[in-house]
Chain A
Amino acid sequence: MAERDVVLEVDSLVRHFPVKGGLLGRGRSAVQAVDGVSFTLGRGETLGIVGESGCGKSTLARTVVGLDSPTSGSVRYRGTDVHRASGRELRQMRRSVQIVLQDPYTSLNPRKTLRDLLMQPFEIHRDVLPRERRIARIKELVELVGLDPDHLDRYPFQFSGGQRQRIGIARALALEPEVVVCDEPVSALDVSVQAQVVNLLRRLQRELGLSYLFIAHDLSVVRHISDRVAVMYLGKVVELGERAQVYDRPRHPYTRALLEAVPIPDPVGRDERVRVLLAGDPPSPVDPPSGCRFRTRCPKAEDLCAVTEPALAVEATPQTEAACHFPDHTPLARLGA
């Protein structure tokens, strides 16, 4: 295999949010939203990040693009530390790493027209494009994402949810980034519209050579778009590997439970399906369980799991890593789909 051209390097990233608590606010607890996450993202590659609410995936997204600062650890874009860069380097990094947010209803300023919304990136980064060429570039962007260039004077409320998400994508692409972090980009959209946006993101990736960090809770969408997949639980990556490996031969019991819980959109044979359902809800990230954080819901947990935290270790080739003392080695039986 050719050497991977790594564009983004996340190393031992930690983001804790202190919470006030205890007598006179002297408690020293913290929400351990992201707790030691490492991965790399190659050029033109999509890394999917899945996990349930509270697992830290959105905090990870915000920290990667520099909207939030890490408690420790680092994020490097082509060698530049995202949180330490300044001046010219910082501006270059900000242009190259962009984000598409979940909710196209609240992430667009309602008082700005489509033209204003797309003009903004060029007003912040004035040196990118001379003023007289900006409007042509905006029209190009609008067409690129499948919107109508005649609608430049419309306001966000005049667009549907799917169209608003296209505006969000156009804005993220305005400065020709190399990395786009997509934080739940389709989950606020109607089912019939989700496929359009997924197809658009894939086409743009092919045409522009983008790298995606694709964060979502919908496992079938992540499977469709990702090359590699990371599974998060309570601030940690519990499994990371090639898409087919993670989905067909999950090593970590949490990955397995997550995949088994997804309803299969085919009624044939549903009564024969066996699935082990997890009990309870994920514990609070303020006071996560000792040892392996999943052990309180894990069907395979033993005494060791409460004492020693399993490291993310290479488990198989092509490379899959799982953080479990007792990883699985059997393929996942998925009937129907």
Chain B
Amino acid sequence: MSAPVLSVDDLSVEFATREGTVHAVRHVGLDVHAGRTLAILGESGSGKSVTAQAIMGLLDTPPARVSSGSIVFEGTDLVGASERTRMRINGEGIAMVFQDALSALNPVYTVGDQISELLRVRRKLSRSAARARAIELMERVRIPAAARRVDDYPHQFSGGMRQRIMIALAVALNPRVLIADEPTTALDVTVQAQIMELLTELRRENGMGLVLITHDLGVVAEVADDVVVMYSGRIVERGSVEELFQRPAHPYTRGLLRSMPRPDREDDELWAIPGAPPSPLRAPGGCAFNPRCDAVVDVCRTDQPELRLIAAGRHSACHLSQEVFDGRA
């Protein structure tokens, strides 16, 4: 594999709150490669969205603070980078698609104006050239009758169409990396499939690195090449999608996979992980997953397991990772 386009190393993000410091992201490292899809899988409070916001420089500081680590995009560290560098890289280097397109788009401008403005400011296109390019982009994301709908406002589009417009905006400057934060969560299943297909197609055509942030195991299995599993602010497991689904090396990943309803076992009780994900304010000591873990031993309650290499391309942060990986725990 070639060198990564985007490399996050030892990233920690904390928030100052009235109830104390929340360590939302702790020592997260990940690589994004051109033309590949990296899924960040996690539940609420896992730190997956904060990681994305840190990469894009969207965190409000304060209360947020990047307390350690680096985010290197094509040789430039974005942590502490100047406003100017950020401006250059956001959009052209790294772009983002959000979950809720209705609140991400400006309601008082037509979608054509919003796409054109970007092209006029960043690409110095003329008004008419920008408009023509905006229509092209809308056609590219398959909005029917784009030439007519370019003058419509965001509320005049359906949820799926709005998500397409946000994707058109995100890819307008041909970014090297596209981060999609739960891009289909608010959409119906038939529309979700269309949007995932579109994202995969754009990644392939433009050779982008795609970072897909999701809680949906099905979506991960369908489109990801590499997977990072997050729990309570940390990466607990990492690997290629086939290997991770076939042979999980962390009890959390294993539990998630087991709890999926299976059509061939429809009358059995579902496997369930007990308890609930911890609040970032009150993460348990030792391994954060220990109160819910079915393989827990004493050391899990006191010592934080490090993310360790357990097989080629496989990492797991579990005191019993080798045993879990080998099916012995």
Please give the residue numbers on chain A whose beta carbons come within 8 Å of chain B beta carbons, in ascending order: 52-53, 160-163, 190-196, 198-199, 202, 217, 219-221, 223-224, 243, 247, 257-258, 260-268, 270, 275, 277-282, 334, 337
B191 partner residues in chain A, CB cutoff 8 A: 52, 281
Beta-carbon contact of B161 and A161 below 8 Å: no
Whether A223 contacts B144 in the complex (CB less than 8 A), given A160-B276, A264-B218, A265-B221, comes out as no
> Could you tell me the distance between the alpha carbons of A52 and B274 in the complex, rounded to whole angstroms?
30
Whether A190 contacts B189 in the complex (CB less than 8 A), given A267-B241, A281-B160, comes out as no
Whether A262 contacts B43 in the complex (CB less than 8 A), given A52-B188, A217-B188, A219-B189, comes out as no
Closest chain A residue to B218 by CB distance? Answer: A263
Beta-carbon contact of B261 and A277 below 8 Å: no
For B142-180 the 0/1 string (1 means CB < 8 A from A) is 001000000000000011110000000000000000000
Whether A266 contacts B261 in the complex (CB less than 8 A), given A160-B276, A190-B44, A190-B276, comes out as no
A264 partner residues in chain B, CB cutoff 8 A: 218, 221-222
Taking CB atoms and an 8 Å cut-off, the chain B residues in 206-256 that contact chain A are 215-222, 224, 241-242, 245-246, 252, 255-256
Q: Which of A194, A224, A243, A260 lies at the interface centre, i.e. has the most chain B CB atoms within 10 A of its CB?
A: A224
Beta-carbon contact of B221 and A261 below 8 Å: no
* A333 to B: closest C-beta gap in Å: 13
B158 partner residues in chain A, CB cutoff 8 A: 281
Chain B interface mostly: helix
A193 partner residues in chain B, CB cutoff 8 A: 273, 276-277
* B36 to A: closest C-beta gap in Å: 14
* A156 to B: closest C-beta gap in Å: 14
> Could you tell me the distance between the alpha carbons of A257 and B276 in the complex, rounded to whole angstroms?
34
B292 partner residues in chain A, CB cutoff 8 A: 192
Q: Which of B44, B160, B191, B197 lies at the interface centre, i.e. has the most chain A CB atoms within 10 A of its CB?
A: B191
Q: How many A-B residue pairs have CB under 8 A?
A: 125
Beta-carbon contact of A266 and B245 below 8 Å: yes
A267 partner residues in chain B, CB cutoff 8 A: 221-222, 224, 241-242, 245
Closest chain A residue to B279 by CB distance? Answer: A160
Q: Does B194 contact A (CB under 8 A)?
A: yes
B262 partner residues in chain A, CB cutoff 8 A: 337
Whether A191 contacts B190 in the complex (CB less than 8 A), given A223-B266, A268-B242, A281-B158, comes out as no
Whether A217 contacts B189 in the complex (CB less than 8 A), given A266-B221, A267-B221, A277-B197, comes out as yes
Partner of A263 from B188, B193, B256 at Cβ < 8 Å: B193
> Could you tell me the distance between the alpha carbons of A220 and B274 in the complex, rounded to whole angstroms?
20
* B283 to A: closest C-beta gap in Å: 14
* B185 to A: closest C-beta gap in Å: 10
* B118 to A: closest C-beta gap in Å: 25
> Could you tell me the distance between the alpha carbons of A279 and B158 in the complex, rounded to whole angstroms?
13
Beta-carbon contact of A262 and B276 below 8 Å: no
Beta-carbon contact of A263 and B43 below 8 Å: no
Taking CB atoms and an 8 Å cut-off, the chain B residues in 277-298 that contact chain A are 277, 292
Whether A191 contacts B189 in the complex (CB less than 8 A), given A243-B266, A263-B216, A264-B218, comes out as no
* B299 to A: closest C-beta gap in Å: 23
Whether A195 contacts B221 in the complex (CB less than 8 A), given A257-B190, A275-B193, comes out as no
Q: Which of A192, A195, A220, A264 lies at the interface centre, i.e. has the most chain B CB atoms within 10 A of its CB?
A: A192
B260 partner residues in chain A, CB cutoff 8 A: 220, 265
Closest chain A residue to B241 by CB distance? Answer: A267
Beta-carbon contact of B215 and A191 below 8 Å: yes
A219 partner residues in chain B, CB cutoff 8 A: 189
Q: Does B304 contact A (CB under 8 A)?
A: no
Beta-carbon contact of A196 and B272 below 8 Å: yes
Partner of A191 from B193, B196, B242, B256 at Cβ < 8 Å: B256
Beta-carbon contact of A191 and B241 below 8 Å: no
Beta-carbon contact of A192 and B270 below 8 Å: no
15 new A-B contacts, CB < 8 A, other than A266-B245, A267-B242, A278-B190, are A195-B261, A195-B272, A196-B273, A217-B189, A221-B261, A247-B263, A263-B196, A263-B219, A265-B260, A267-B224, A267-B241, A270-B222, A280-B144, A281-B158, A337-B262
A277 partner residues in chain B, CB cutoff 8 A: 190, 193-194, 197
* B86 to A: closest C-beta gap in Å: 33
Q: Does B126 contact A (CB under 8 A)?
A: no
Closest chain B residue to A278 by CB distance? Answer: B190
Q: Does B259 contact A (CB under 8 A)?
A: yes
Partner of B255 from A192, A202, A281 at Cβ < 8 Å: A192
> Could you tell me the distance between the alpha carbons of A264 and B219 in the complex, rounded to whole angstroms?
8
Q: Does B269 contact A (CB under 8 A)?
A: yes
Whether A163 contacts B276 in the complex (CB less than 8 A), given A195-B270, A223-B266, comes out as yes
Partner of A195 from B161, B252, B273 at Cβ < 8 Å: B273
A224 partner residues in chain B, CB cutoff 8 A: 261, 266, 270
14 CB contacts below 8 A, A to B, read A52-B191, A190-B277, A192-B276, A198-B261, A199-B269, A247-B263, A262-B218, A263-B216, A264-B218, A278-B190, A280-B144, A281-B159, A281-B161, A337-B262
Lowest 6 A-B CB distances belong to which pairs? A263-B218, A52-B188, A160-B276, A224-B261, A195-B272, A195-B259
Beta-carbon contact of A265 and B43 below 8 Å: no
Whether A265 contacts B257 in the complex (CB less than 8 A), given A217-B189, A277-B194, A281-B160, comes out as yes
Whether A261 contacts B193 in the complex (CB less than 8 A), given A191-B259, A199-B269, A223-B261, comes out as yes
> Could you tell me the distance between the alpha carbons of A232 and B263 in the complex, rounded to whole angstroms?
21
Beta-carbon contact of B246 and A192 below 8 Å: no
Q: Does B271 contact A (CB under 8 A)?
A: yes
> Could you tell me the distance between the alpha carbons of A52 and B144 in the complex, rounded to whole angstroms?
21
Beta-carbon contact of B190 and A52 below 8 Å: yes
> Could you tell me the distance between the alpha carbons of A281 and B222 in the complex, rounded to whole angstroms?
22
> Could you tell me the distance between the alpha carbons of A169 and B241 in the complex, rounded to whole angstroms?
37
Closest chain B residue to A192 by CB distance? Answer: B273
Beta-carbon contact of B218 and A190 below 8 Å: no
Q: Does B67 contact A (CB under 8 A)?
A: no
Q: Which of B246, B256, B272 lies at the interface centre, i.e. has the most chain A CB atoms within 10 A of its CB?
A: B272
Q: Does B192 contact A (CB under 8 A)?
A: yes
